[in-house]
């Protein structure tokens, strides 16, 4: 059996600031498009839909984040402020070369540490969770080599 993760999806209210945040995090914009029509609604089970999509990829090309802004139908629930232990809550974890430099780059987007500090797990990783634009939860890990 072969399986490969293609992407994770995050629904947002305003695509541009979230694209800018992920760009400053280090991802590259692969493209933006409008997904609409019968095929799209059949896939998601939402029926008639119009969704603006931006696909972001990691520089190594192995990870992607699909950002979606629903034009139709309207958003029905908002989980952006849910705590990290909420059922079904999503966070993406990225390994970065320098966690301090990464935090400095994304600070202009209003990024906030979830806890009061960056923690160190043994001699293996420095880790933290941050909330970016729209409350998106992102984990950052710096391998200690």
- The structure's pTM equals 0.90
Q: Give the per-residue pLDDT at 43.
A: 84
Q: Give the per-residue pLDDT at 125.
A: 96
Determine the Cα–Cα distance for residues 111 and 139; give it in Å rounded to an integer: 12
What is the architecture, at CATH level 2, of domain 92-143? Roll (3.10)
Q: Give the per-residue pLDDT at 134.
A: 92
Tens-place pLDDT, residues 4-62: 888 999 999 999 999 999 999 999 999 999 998 888 888 888 888 899 999 999 999 99
How many degrees, rounded to 5, is the angle at CA 93 between CA 87 and CA 99? 135
CATH number of the structural domain 8-72: 3.10.180.10
Tens-place pLDDT, residues 64-119: 999 999 999 988 888 887 887 888 777 899 999 999 999 999 999 999 999 889 99
| Axis-axis angle for helices 15-25, 99-106 (nearest 10) | 150
Domain ranges of the chain: 8-72, 92-143
């Amino acid at each position: 059996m072969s399986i490969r993760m293609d992407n994770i999806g995050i629904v947002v209210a305003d695509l541009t600031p979230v694209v800018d945040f992920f760009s400053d995090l280090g991802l590259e914009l692969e493209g933006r498009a409008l997904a609409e029509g019968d095929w799209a609604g059949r896939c998601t089970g939402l029926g008639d839909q119009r969704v603006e999509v931006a696909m972001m990829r990691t520089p190594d090309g192995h990870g992607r984040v699909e950002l979606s802004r629903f034009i139709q139908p309207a958003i029905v629930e908002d989980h952006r402020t849910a705590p990290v232990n909420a059922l079904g809550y999503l966070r993406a974890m990225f390994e970065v070369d320098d966690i301090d430099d990464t935090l400095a780059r994304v600070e202009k987007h209003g990024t906030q540490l979830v806890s009061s500090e960056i923690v160190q797990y043994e001699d293996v990783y420095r880790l933290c969770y941050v909330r970016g634009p729209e409350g998106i939860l992102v984990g950052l890990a710096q391998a200690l080599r």
